[in-house]
Amino acid sequence: MKLVGEPQLYVRVLSPTKTLAEGMAYAVSAVNETGPFDILANHAHFFSLLSEGEIRVLGTPDPAEALSIPVNKGLIKVADNRVTLFVDIEPAPAKAHPD
């Protein structure tokens, strides 16, 4: 897909302690329970839990320059070309095995 024009999505990626990314983008990619998905301009209103994987924010027409953020879990909200992601980026705690 060739991207043209100006980015139309306003994207914020927030962790519990800081803002990881904020600004305009062409697309956002993430993973939920059913698999990978993409958000483009004028996407329908959308809300989903995120699965462990990678969030990619495409802020320029060059896919090689996409911001990549590995996440354990989170959620995404999309409305009116605004994409907000609340993510947990810390490693999941190891489960203790009973002796």
Q: Can you list the domains of the chain with their CATH numbers?
A: 9-88 (2.60.15.10)
- What share of the chain in percent tops pLDDT 70? 87
> Quick one: 31 exposed, middle or buried, by C-beta within 10 A (0-12, 13-18, 19+)?
middle
The phi and psi torsions of 13 (rounded to 5 degrees) equal -115, 115
pTM of the predicted model as reported, rounded to 2 decimal places: 0.84
User: What are the pLDDT digits (tens) for 60-80?
Assistant: 888 888 999 999 999 999 999
Judged against a pLDDT cut of 70, whether residue 99 lies above it is answered with no
Query: What would the mean pLDDT of 83-88 be, rounded to a whole number?
Result: 96
